[in-house]
Chain A
Amino acid sequence: MLERGLEEKFYVLNLGPQHPSTHGVLRVELQMEGEFIVKADPDIGYGHRGHEHMAENRSYLQFLPNLGRVDYLHALAYNQCYCMAVEKLLELKVPERAEFIRVITCELNRIASHLLWIGAYLLDLGAFTPFLYCFDDRENILDLLDRVTGSRLTYCYYRFGGVPRDVDDDFLAGCKAFARRLRSRYRDYENLVNKNVIFLERTKGIGIISQEQCVKYGLTGPMVRGSGIPYDLRKCEPYSAYPLFDFDIPVGSTGDIYDRYMVRYREMEQSLRIIEQAVDKIPAGPIMAEKVPKRIKPAPGEVYTAVEAARGEFGIYLVSQGDTTPYRLKLRVPSFGNLSILPEIAVDTLVADLVAILGSIDVVVPEIDR
């Protein structure tokens, strides 16, 4: 909490928990001098649901739907991380076709997450129209994923040992059609947003994060790549079928908001490349591992798995004591670490900049509160 009323010239402004730009129930207590921020203090926990405790009270499989609700925007990466953790404990080998399906759906989900972020972020900056354009594109992904996963937002698709439903040729063709469609839209995004003078003025040189700060605060994902560190778990610690594909890691140079925007924007193209290669190379075969036990009861042990989610490194630390429920499950969520830098970079900025910086962190508040 901030010390109140020490000096007359400062005053406290509450940004949230109900405010259009906090994207959920985040509250930032701002100590202000005029329109300048002297101190910003994020206050979290309004949406705490106790996911980690829930994991200790239900079977391994029953906890799976919870993952789609931790980060509802990139649910499939969270599914994947949890499945990988349990598979590691059970020593299951996932068939190759299932891995390919996981990669395709996970990357589609990543594009959907980035599209939503771009739209919502420009809304923060006061541009309304790109939001609808992004949603129009995102709608195609939701339709595609709806066909295979059965839901449009809080996916719960992967299972221990593979995926429960196979994809058909229509879906694969749809992925290719979507890649063509999104690429045809780049020109609009670039002309209307990426080259827009007002947009550049609002984002260049604002909210700069140095590489030292990235390391100090444990930032991951586009936050750290925007500052020029090519840290991406899909390359650094490859998992699933990612080593088979050829893709780049976009990085920024100065670490300002614009770089983080461009990193996310260019990541969509890289995801499209992965999807296209996976669709071309997808092998035939089973989609479930052979010996998946009916009752999931892994041997005692500890395991940590991490995946590259849209917002950064998502990790699960899972401890089994040979029971049907996890003994302890710890979620390492990227938004929590990423938000922690806000007090440092928000000092001496305007309220308008704070909104821009907060948006560029791309927080999903339910994931922080979890």
Chain B
Amino acid sequence: MATAAHSVSVFGMIAGLIGVMALVAVNALFLIWMERKVSAHMQLRPGPMEVGWHGAIQTIADALKLLGKELITPRDVDKPVYLAAPIVIFLPVLVSFLVIPFSQNLIIRDMHVGVLLILSFAALTVLAILMAGWASNNKYAVFGAIRSVAQNVAYEIPLLITLMSVILMVGSFRLTDIVAAQNRIWFVFVQPVAFILYIICATAETNRAPFDLPEAESELVAGFHTEYSGMRFALFFLAEYTNMFIVAALATIFFLGGWRGPFLPGLVWFLIKVYAIIFLIMWFRWTFPRVRFDQLITLSWKILIPLALANLIVTAFVLKLV
């Protein structure tokens, strides 16, 4: 998937797409295995051990099982929307990969509005969740969908503002520029508040615990994907894990110096940092109880957004003074 940054070649695009598809699938399989292992070891148990070395190909077995499952379509669903939702949730996730710089040269399209592209396509996942919830004709699913929309709208704002304070320092939306600007010091040390805010917002944005309200199983059974089975359910699952990869990749690019690091190749450093962030997000999930819905919205509107704004203003002032 490596092409020169600005040349548009058909071959490059196709190779890139195939590469992204492969990456998404392998990443999801790995993350699910990782999540099971991480949760297991936090819960005093070994996790999957039977299929492959320490259960390494357990998720492949599970994926095959899901492929063989019957695709149930309940009678009273809004059929076109119901069928479209799993695809709609998956497409924006793929697009986001186009602009992520995995290393110095490994990037499909180095667009000068890279950040905006990722964030705007990430916003589309809300649409898919709403479609799934509404079309399912199930009260619990609608609940999950409504919660998801309110949550995503509330958390996209502080997310954007925190990223803005970094963009303000760099002066560019281009992801490679942002990484290049960190050649002396990582932004996590310059903007620690922004980093913490970003991690909180990213956890909420990907619907992960303690902010997993759209699919809070003890309240809403399975939330917006209650009525989905087989591969359709698997697509939601895949999208969730890929989303996690994307927010972790953004955190790496914005705060942890992207692919930069000594000795090892850029790609390896990039992946190490991404999976470290993902481990952190998993750690949250297996430690905290779930917040209540109104508390979640309060946290965003009354604490995170003012903090992010203050951080942005302080950054602007400091930049002006220096």
Contacts and interface: CB of A to CB of B under 8 A. Distances in A.
A136 B42 CA distance: 13
B224 interface: no
Nearest to A14: B139
Given A35-B143, A133-B44, A202 B219 contact: no
Contacts of B217: 20
Nearest to B216: A126
Nearest to A354: B219
Given A13-B139, A129-B43, A352 B288 contact: no
Nearest to B140: A13
Main SS of chain A's interface residues?
A: helix
Given A13-B139, A132-B45, A198-B210, A350 B294 contact: yes
Q: Specify which of B44, B285, B289, B292 lies most central, judged by the most chain A CB atoms within 10 Å of its CB.
A: B289
Contact of B221 (A19, A129, A131, A350): A19
A355 B218 contact: yes
B139 to A, nearest CB: 5
A352 B288 CA distance: 16
**Number of contact residues on B: which range applies?**
20 to 34
Contacts of B30: none
A186 interface: no
B168 interface: no
Contacts of A123: 218
Given A124-B218, A126-B210, A132 B43 contact: yes
B221 A201 contact: no
A353 B287 CA distance: 20
Contacts of A25: none
Contact of A202 (B42, B221, B292): B292
A352 B287 CA distance: 19
B143 A127 contact: no
Contact of A201 (B42, B44, B220, B292): B292
B212 interface: yes
A192 interface: yes
Interface in B279-298: 285-295
Interface in B132-167: 139, 143
A352 B289 contact: no
B221 A20 contact: yes
Nearest to A351: B219
A314 B235 CA distance: 50
A245 interface: no
The 5 closest A-B pairs by CB, nearest first: A126-B290, A132-B43, A127-B289, A125-B289, A21-B218
Given A20-B217, A125-B289, 15 more contacts: A11-B139, A20-B221, A21-B218, A21-B219, A124-B218, A125-B290, A126-B210, A126-B216, A126-B218, A126-B290, A128-B286, A133-B43, A198-B210, A198-B288, A202-B295
20 contacts: A13-B139, A21-B219, A35-B143, A35-B293, A125-B218, A125-B289, A126-B209, A126-B212, A128-B39, A129-B287, A131-B43, A132-B44, A192-B287, A198-B289, A198-B291, A350-B292, A351-B143, A352-B219, A352-B292, A355-B218
